[in-house]
């Protein structure tokens, strides 16, 4: 029970920081489309929830991962604030590097079984993207 409360509190911290920092009506890199938004920090929040709950991270894994996620989220928020509405290609490249750094660090914390499950989840997500009509890393797809 304590573990669930701790994970919930940490997760709410990520959500609250983002909500309080948003201007009215969303805005920033991609606006507020979808449950997690279409912003890189939304992907980081989603990855945190996946790490904690879908991959059943242990307390020790959570303790090691939290600083990594928090630092990544802070770096992404700074870039989102710097490149508000229509980020240049440079910003997208920076965001992809930050996200890749996070994913590499997180994978080192996972057991082989968790790594396999994550690979399966990523494959399913990619198949879903392809079925819905586009979107590589960073989501989106062609304008409709």
Q: What is the pLDDT of residue 44?
A: 87
How open is the CA angle 62-68-70, to the nearest 5 degrees? 95
What gap in Å lies between CA 43 and CA 71, rounded to an integer? 14
pLDDT tens figures, 77-115? 888 888 876 667 888 888 899 999 999 999 999 999 999
How open is the CA angle 105-85-24, to the nearest 5 degrees? 100
Question: Model-level pTM?
Answer: 0.65
CB 32 within 8 A of CB 24: no
Q: What is the pLDDT of residue 70?
A: 93
What gap in Å lies between CA 18 and CA 74, rounded to an integer? 10
Q: What is the pLDDT of residue 67?
A: 95
Sequence-distant (≥ 6) Cβ neighbours of residue 132 within 8 angstroms: 141
Structure tokens at 132: 């819905």
Q: What does the radius of gyration of the chain's CA atoms come to, in whole angstroms?
A: 15
What gap in Å lies between CA 76 and CA 82, rounded to an integer? 10
Q: Poorest-confidence range of 36-45, 52-61, 105-114, 115-124?
A: 36-45
What gap in Å lies between CA 40 and CA 94, rounded to an integer? 11
**How many residues appear in the chain?**
144
Residue 139: strand pairing partners: 136
**Dihedral-angle region of residue 22 (phi above 0 means left; psi in -120 to 50 means alpha; beta otherwise):** beta
């Amino acid at each position: 029970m304590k573990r669930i409360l701790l994970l919930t509190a940490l997760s709410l911290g990520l959500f609250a920081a983002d909500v309080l920092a948003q201007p009215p009506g969303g805005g920033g890199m991609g606006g507020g489309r979808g449950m997690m938004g279409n912003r890189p920090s939304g992907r980081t929040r989603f990855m945190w929830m996946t790490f904690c709950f879908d991959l059943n991270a242990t307390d020790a894994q959570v303790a090691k991962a939290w600083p990594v996620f928090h630092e990544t989220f802070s770096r992404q928020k700074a870039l989102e604030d710097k490149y508000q509405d229509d980020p240049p290609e440079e910003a997208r490249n920076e965001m992809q590097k930050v996200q890749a750094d996070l994913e590499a660090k997180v994978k080192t914390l996972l057991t082989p079984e968790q790594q396999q499950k994550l690979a399966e989840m990523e494959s399913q997500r990619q198949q879903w993207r392809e079925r819905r009509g586009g979107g590589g890393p960073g989501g989106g797809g062609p304008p409709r």
